[in-house]
């Protein structure tokens, strides 16, 4: 599902990238996406190091009190500006639109469930009223 979403979001990524590039290199949006891309890159590298049981990650955990050793093992080479920008746009569209879609679907399902509950309550009230009317 995520792979298909990434594939479908490519045109949106391209439109967003083009719109921001036309604003110029000093655009606030461009720098925002570059920062977002750098954060996503660091997070991805840390997760991959943890999953792959990277020895430098293990050493970092074992020697967290050794500041010099910690700084060496914690270093993640930043992406270039263009790569960070592209990663930032991709991360933004994935997070905003993917999770936005999940929230919309969830809200729809909750509303549908509430409507079904309301109809069920109306039906029970009608049956209750019919029974009381029949008793009198």
First to last CA, the chain: 59
Does the residue 36 lie in any domain? yes
Residue 17: C-alpha distances to residues 2, 55, 115 (Å): 21, 37, 41
For the chain, what is the domain count?
A: 1
Does the residue 62 lie in any domain? yes
Does the residue 114 lie in any domain? no
Q: What is the pLDDT of residues 45-99, one digit of tens each?
A: 988 888 887 565 555 555 555 555 455 567 889 999 999 999 999 888 888 888 8
Q: Which domain holds residue 54?
A: 2-98
H-helix or E-strand spanning residue 26: none
Does the residue 74 lie in any domain? yes
Residue 27 near residue 89, CB atoms below 8 Å: no
pLDDT-above-90 percentage for the chain? 32
- Length of the chain equals 136
Least confident of 57-61, 72-76, 104-108, 125-129: 57-61
d(C-alpha 23, C-alpha 36), whole Å? 18
Does the residue 120 lie in any domain? no
d(C-alpha 88, C-alpha 32), whole Å? 8
Does the residue 125 lie in any domain? no
Confidence of residue 2 (pLDDT cuts 50, 70, 90): low
pTM (2 decimals)?
A: 0.58
Does the residue 108 lie in any domain? no
């Amino acid at each position: 599902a995520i792979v298909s979403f990434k594939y479908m979001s490519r045109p949106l990524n391209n439109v967003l990238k083009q719109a921001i590039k036309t604003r110029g290199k000093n655009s606030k949006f461009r720098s925002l996406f570059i920062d977002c891309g750098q954060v996503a890159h660091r997070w991805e590298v840390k997760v991959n190091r943890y999953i792959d049981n990277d020895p430098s990650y293990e050493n970092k955990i074992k020697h967290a009190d050794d500041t010099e050793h910690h700084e060496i093992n914690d270093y993640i080479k930043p992406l270039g500006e263009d790569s960070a920008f592209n990663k930032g746009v991709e991360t933004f569209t994935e997070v905003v639109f993917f999770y936005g879609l999940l929230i919309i679907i969830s809200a729809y399902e909750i509303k549908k469930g509430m409507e079904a509950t309301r109809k069920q309550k109306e039906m029970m009230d009608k049956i209750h009223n019919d029974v009381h009317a029949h008793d009198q």
